[in-house]
Structure 1
């Protein structure tokens, strides 16, 4: 029962941490996207994130201290940055193209060929649900990684406890052995004691001591 309660509390704590981290990563992603959209022509986008320009778009009191987390989630759909600026292509297509005619007679393809339909844009609710699904997947992945690290930590602690316990057992055995050796030594000394020069009362005392051994 206690393990179940502890597990539930751990999941709630991790979920709460992920919500806070998720917001920070989303804000950093937006700042990075703005910086990339305004980058100078010919500049390497992969190195652009490391410049001070990104911090101008960050515009927050606290610094962004989760770059190691960003390296993990930046390839996820939720955090991917898709360039919105125009793409310049040389020696392939003209700068201006004539819109294609809707008439099937102007098409070089056969009239028997099926006409591909453009994908229907998804609604706001569907888009929101999709973002929520991606966020849940990212949270699950993050929680799974944390659980693995926690399990490894617990396993290491248990091994250390077993090692310490084994040392304590060996130490206790050694102390018991020394104690028994001291008792045997004392008994031997008692049995070998010379009582010829002692008083009758003292002789009687050591006689009783020897009898009890």
Structure 2
């Protein structure tokens, strides 16, 4: 009879409270494995992003060089346009404006400056 009672206890259904507890709980080991997987995925993503940046670096450098060359060509084109400007039909104020622009271009060419000049001593007519 003892074997019947042990067998009956083993086959007895789990109660509602025990079933809910069993279904809702996860073991600490499963949580740790889940967190480890998240950390591994993050490290793989970071590694992949770094490799992608390294692969894109030469392309970005080439693009920067081309952009710099385009800016230099644009500056040369503007300087040519300024130097070729016909001022014979312009008002005195407009002529003086273009004269100053030509002086800036000449100053950049003579002194190998890359930007507009902020020195006024070359524009003085008193020296």
TM-score normalised by the chain length of structure 2: 0.44
* Higher RCO (C-alpha under 8 Å, 6+ residues apart): 1
Relative to its length, the structure with more helix (as a share) is 2
- Report the TM-score when normalising by structure 1: 0.28
